[in-house]
Amino acid sequence: MALKLFNTLSRSIQEFAPLDPAGKKVGMYCCGPTVYDFAHIGNWRTFVFADLVRRYLEFKGYSVTHVMNITDVEDKIIKRVRETKTPLREFTQQYEAAFLEDLKTLNCVLPHQMPHATQHIPQIVALIEKLVARGIAYKAADGSVYFSIEKYRGCGCTYGRLLKLNFDEMRVGERVASDEYAKESVADFALWKARTPDDGDVFWPSPWGEGRPGWHIECSAMSMKILGPTFDLHLGGEDLIFPHHEDEIAQSEGATGQPFVKHWLHGAFLLVEGKKMSKSLGNFFTLRDLLAKGFTGREIRYLLLTAHYRETFNFTLDGLQGARAALGRIDECLGKLKEIVEPLTRPSATLSPPGGEKDREKGASKLIPNSTAALDDDLNISAAWAIVFEWVREMNRRLAESSLSADEAAAALTAWEKVDSVLGVGGKSEIEIPAEINSLLEARQAARKAKDFKKSDRLRDELKVKGWTIEDTPKGPKLKKI
């Protein structure tokens, strides 16, 4: 079945078809972090969403080139560099390192390329030169170079492709130096910002004098350098639709005269406890804040992936507790399946004779086709999770009635691994033994060795009260959850 995705450009759900005539290669660009602080949980919703898109495209057999830029020069960064009196690279490097570490914590697949704006100044300058040569960009009295919306529209191009703009109601023709500007103004935006005393050491030479690039042009230059003038997918959070992505389209198409991106995907925002995140409300969480509260990257990833990407998601700490319980149900089921597959190391497991190909089919169940159908439908992840938990229930029922053969259990585990190559929540097929239980087990072993059977029996009873039984096997004691 074909993958269907909502395209912000056409405002409709469209079948995804790569530009590659062979239908194999896919170029995908996601606007990456502005490295001026630790990424917050809202940012992570968008990056985990991009990871889901990448993983699912690969699951469907596409050969994806995934690009995510690092915005390492921009208004907010310059401000913080000035405030902290730190050199630009030193300042951004610490947050970039943190970002990469967090990416790993959330089990996001590393993008193939992570270009830095500061390392693409020649490409950025060349792109601006093209726009100036085409008469769409101009140098203003302040020494900065601006993109002219009027000239662009005069060439028959549309400004307002992603967001319908009503030019009659909007303030048109203003000029903005800031990277982000208000929705009610359609302003000529800065491509190159002339050096000011506030910029400190952050400037580069250019044909228009010393200065630095605007944020929007960075993404146009880096994406087209790596993926070409026209590529398949461009992603970001919904707040980037205007002005950032609208400006990316205008700059890129204005310079090349070719369509920039075929499919635009935007992830909806994340709220915390129903409100927009803000430090003053005390609902602002970085990933690290949540880890410090004892949650794991896996639990956070799961929660971020529970809602459809086009729905606003309400993040709560209770939701994280729910994520822990849900993952526990998956882990427990996988642990039991593994016990059947590896009966030698797990003597307590139910054994039935291997049943061959037919059993393998039964064990795999409908997990793969059903979850694929859900994800093909504009990445309907909540439907995919419902299918996963239906499968867990089915497996648990069959485990309880001891009607699952080793082959079926193995097939079930393989099916889960395939589906999890998209979900990326892993799955501990070994049941995790808490440290406290392990210590009790060790103490019992020591008591047995010392032939203190009274004590070893007491410890066995204590373990039972805590929900664990011990089976003594020739290979040593095995713990089993009751």
Task: Please give the residue ranges that form the binding site for ligand AMP (CB under 6 A).
Answer: 31, 33-34, 42-43, 45-46, 236-237, 239-240, 269-270, 277
Give the one entry of ligand AMP, Zn ion, none that residue 34 binds, where binding means its C-beta sits below a cut-off of 5 to 8 angstroms depending on kind: ligand AMP
Contact (Cβ atoms closer than 8 angstroms) between residue 408 and residue 360: yes
The CB-of-277 to ligand AMP minimum distance in angstroms stands at 6
The CB-of-244 to Zn ion minimum distance in angstroms stands at 6
The CB-of-266 to ligand AMP minimum distance in angstroms stands at 8
The CB-of-216 to Zn ion minimum distance in angstroms stands at 7
- The residue at minimum Cβ distance from ligand AMP is 237
Q: Which residue number, 270 or 406, has a Cβ lying nearer to ligand AMP?
A: 270
Give the one entry of Zn ion, ligand AMP, none that residue 7 binds, where binding means its C-beta sits below a cut-off of 5 to 8 angstroms depending on kind: none
The CB-of-332 to ligand AMP minimum distance in angstroms stands at 32
Q: Which residue number, 232 or 408, has a Cβ lying nearer to ligand AMP?
A: 232
Q: Which residue number, 59 or 269, has a Cβ lying nearer to ligand AMP?
A: 269
219 binds Zn ion (CB under 5 A): yes
Q: Which residue number, 31 or 48, has a Cβ lying nearer to Zn ion?
A: 31
**Residue 104 identity (one-letter amino acid):** K
Give the one entry of Zn ion, ligand AMP, none that residue 46 binds, where binding means its C-beta sits below a cut-off of 5 to 8 angstroms depending on kind: ligand AMP
The CB-of-35 to ligand AMP minimum distance in angstroms stands at 8
Give the one entry of ligand AMP, Zn ion, none that residue 429 binds, where binding means its C-beta sits below a cut-off of 5 to 8 angstroms depending on kind: none
The CB-of-41 to Zn ion minimum distance in angstroms stands at 20
Give the one entry of Zn ion, ligand AMP, none that residue 33 binds, where binding means its C-beta sits below a cut-off of 5 to 8 angstroms depending on kind: ligand AMP
What is the footprint of Zn ion within residues 29-48 (CB under 5 A)?
31
Give the one entry of ligand AMP, Zn ion, none that residue 219 binds, where binding means its C-beta sits below a cut-off of 5 to 8 angstroms depending on kind: Zn ion
- Chain residues that interact with Zn ion, rule: CB under 5 A: 31, 219
